[in-house]
Amino acid sequence: MAAPDATRDALESFDLAIDTVRELNRRLHDSTRAQRLRVLNPGGRHSIAVGLDGSHEIEIEGHVGYYCAGMNKLATIRVRGNCGVGVAENMMSGAVIVEGSASQSAGATARGGLLVIHGDASARCGISLKGADIVVRGSVGHMTGFMAQKGAVVVCEDAGEALGDSLYEARLYVRGSVASLGADCIEKELRAEHLEELRGLLARAEIDDVEPAEFRRFGSARQLYHFQVEHLGSY
Amino acid sequence: MCGIAGLYTKSPALAAGLGEHLSRMLEQLSFRGPDSAGVAFYRDPAPAGWCKVSLHSAAEHPGWDEVGASLALAFGEASVPQVRATHATFVIEADAAHAQAWLSEHHPELRLMSAGSSIEIYKEAGPPRDFIARFALEEMSGSHALGHTRMATESRVTTQHSHPFSTGLDLCLVHNGSLSNHNRLRRVLQREGIQFQTDNDSEVAAGYLTWRMREGATLEQALEGCLEDLDGFYTFAVGTADGFAVLRDPIACKPAVMAETDEWVAMASEYRAIAVLPGAEDATLWEPEPGRVYSWGTAPVT
């Protein structure tokens, strides 16, 4: 499908108390023009605004269920509420902004784009992250960044147990406490390029009440994933 | 996958509509559990010196009036049966232990679903929507209730394999998840005198709680014991005489959402089951932390 052009519709409403999620998603998938849409009465329904491929601007007025904004490409999706499991899973590009909190596996396997969570994210935030950036204004649950390969996770408050377990090359930044580090995850020096990255990510997330220098950086010790038989004893 | 719902009312108006609200929650959870459904309602407490039992019969004509007459003969007084589909409740002038022992001796064809002062358990195989209609759940009032929709993963789909499972007087358990050490634990508990009706894993968790509390643990201590002794995935909701408790396993593979307003406290597997409650849009919402016991209105159970 051709990329939507820059002409945008005026902000329209789509009421999920009247029409179905499938109708909403079909309308957004079939559109060759970027749409601005306000989604009303989400009621915790699953799979709202998934698989978008165009620079739509979607505002969801309330709490959503599982996999909201999954596989997002180019679109900007704002959730004025909380999210269930797997918000923005496998996002390719664009931005997803959650004004409330997110349940487990937020941003799982996401390859590109920006996920901002203004509340907390629970367990396994950024699991198997493959290049997207995630900024959480609150705290994250256990196993955040599990097997994350590429991209960054910024946590403005605390991180739960086993942060960065089996981490590859994603960068994890935590401003508050870390309950424990997972296997092969270590604290690393916060250098100028990391301060610069943090400054950029916080600005894109429109978070201006924390300072880049307040964060600590965590990354892979690179002892686990480069499996070498001569190192067997240390695994 | 299964669905769990719990609703605890704080106002008489909401208590009057408890069945209607819980039914709407269960409907939302139908897709998580199309195989069977069940509920525990806490309502109309029996007078002091009396107990309440709920019974299930697989017979086409269970003869509930005859059961009631035989209970009255044995114990002096018993209420007329309150029949709901395949189940009936009786209020009997006896303590619950005597009534249970007598029923198992004289009516072995009946299955005891629950015993206590206010608890009533109803459960049946089949789609949750059919269950709601068949048991006329929407008419029921009560102070609080738990519900379950089951997608069977490890044992048969029957009435007995459905949730909730009784875990003692006025206590019951609903479970979303699967336990992997239930066979060994069942044998341990059987040696301690705990009886099981099925080969279901969740019934073992219920039996475990029964055993721990029989040995003197509070409900909270018994639930904390699950973190050590149960291997597997679980979100549990436990109904008690005056509230309910929630526990998720430390890995937290199974979902749970909790919500509170001035009118009610609710828990459910998914938010969409809470979204149907009055005032849900303004409720305080949170995801219960793994490995932590949450409880409402629950006096220590000894």
pLDDT range class, residue A11, cuts 50, 70, 90 = confident
Q: A53, A51, A56: which is closest to A39 by C-alpha?
A: A56
Beta strand pairing call for B165-168 and B171-179 = antiparallel
What is the spatial distance between Cα B22 and Cα B269, in angstroms, rounded to a whole number?
13
Q: Where are the domains of chain A?
A: 44-234
Which long-range contacts (C-beta less than 8 Å, at least 24 apart) are formed by A160-164? A160/A123, A163/A218, A164/A218, A164/A219, A164/A220
Residues of B labelled as active-site residues:
2
Q: Nearest by CB to A43, which of B252, B255, B275?
A: B275
Q: Nearest by CB to B285, which of A82, A104, A123?
A: A82
3-state secondary structure of A121: strand
Question: Does residue A161 carry a pLDDT above 80?
Answer: yes
Question: Does residue A227 carry a pLDDT above 90?
Answer: no
Q: What was the pLDDT predicted at B153?
A: 85
Looking at the DSSP assignment, which residues form a beta bridge with residue B89? B54, B82
Q: What was the pLDDT predicted at A116?
A: 98
| pLDDT 10s digits, A77-112 | 999 999 999 999 999 999 999 999 999 999 999 999
What is the spatial distance between Cα A52 and Cα B73, in angstroms, rounded to a whole number?
70
Question: Does residue A8 carry a pLDDT above 60?
Answer: no
Q: A207, A221, A103, A104: which is closest to A172 by C-alpha?
A: A221
Tokens at residue B141, please?
């009032």
By CB neighbour count within 10 A (0-12 exposed, 13-18 middle, 19+ buried), where does A92 fall? middle
Tell if the CB–CB gap between A104 and B285 is shorter than 8 Å: no
Write out the DSSP string of B220-243: HHHHHHHHHH--EEEEEEEEETTE
| Nearest chain B residue to A45, by CA | B272
Question: Does residue A9 carry a pLDDT above 60?
Answer: no
| Nearest chain A residue to B275, by CA | A43
CATH number corresponding to A44-234: 2.160.20.60
Q: What was the pLDDT predicted at B302?
A: 32
What is the spatial distance between Cα A101 and Cα B271, in angstroms, rounded to a whole number?
13
Tokens at residue A24, please?
């909403």
Average pLDDT in chain A: 93
Rg (CA), chain A: 18
Q: What is the mean pLDDT of residues A135-162?
A: 97
Tokens at residue B87, please?
């189940």
By CB neighbour count within 10 A (0-12 exposed, 13-18 middle, 19+ buried), where does A36 fall? middle
Residues of A in contact with B257 (CB under 8 A): 103
Beta-carbon contacts of residue A67 (< 8 Å; ≥ 6 apart): A46, A47, A50, A84, A85, A86, A87, A89
Residues of A in contact with B276 (CB under 8 A): 43
Q: Nearest by CB to A63, which of B252, B271, B289?
A: B271
Tell if the CB–CB gap between A142 and B287 is shorter than 8 Å: no
pTM over 0.80: yes
Q: How far is A3 from chain B (nearest CA, A)?
A: 34
Q: Domains (ranges, CATH) in chain B?
A: 2-41+141-296 (3.60.20.10), 46-117 (3.30.70)
Q: How far is A14 from chain B (nearest CA, A)?
A: 18
Tokens at residue B60, please?
């086409």
Question: Does residue A165 carry a pLDDT above 50?
Answer: yes
Distances (CA, A) of B245 to A29, A150, A233, B117, B222: 43, 40, 45, 19, 11
Tell if the CB–CB gap between A65 and B287 is shorter than 8 Å: no
Number of other CB atoms surrounding residue B248 within 10 Å = 26
What is the spatial distance between Cα B81 and Cα B100, in angstroms, rounded to a whole number?
16
* Spans of chain B, pLDDT less than 50: 299-302
Write the Ramachandran bin of B227: left for phi over 0, alpha for psi from -120 to 50, otherwise beta: alpha
Tell if the CB–CB gap between A63 and B255 is shorter than 8 Å: no
**For A14-18, A55-59, B77-81, which range has the lowest pLDDT when averaged over its residues?**
B77-81
Tell if the CB–CB gap between A44 and B287 is shorter than 8 Å: no
Contact A155, A180 (CB under 8 A): no
Contact A158, A141 (CB under 8 A): no
Tokens at residue A211, please?
């300072």
By CB neighbour count within 10 A (0-12 exposed, 13-18 middle, 19+ buried), where does B291 fall? middle
Distances (CA, A) of A169 to A28, A189, B114, B144: 34, 15, 55, 50
Backbone φ, ψ for residue B98 (5° rounding): -65, -45
What is the spatial distance between Cα A139 and Cα A122, in angstroms, rounded to a whole number?
8
Distances (CA, A) of A122 to A117, A141, B211: 11, 4, 33
Q: Write down how long chain A is.
A: 235
Q: What was the pLDDT predicted at A118?
A: 98
Question: Does residue A6 carry a pLDDT above 60?
Answer: no
Q: How far is A100 from chain B (nearest CA, A)?
A: 10
User: Angle at CA B81, nearest 5°, toward B78 and B86?
Assistant: 140
Tokens at residue A95, please?
């931005």
Tell if the CB–CB gap between A104 and B252 is shorter than 8 Å: yes
Q: B200, B85, B62, B164: which is closest to B131 by C-alpha?
A: B85
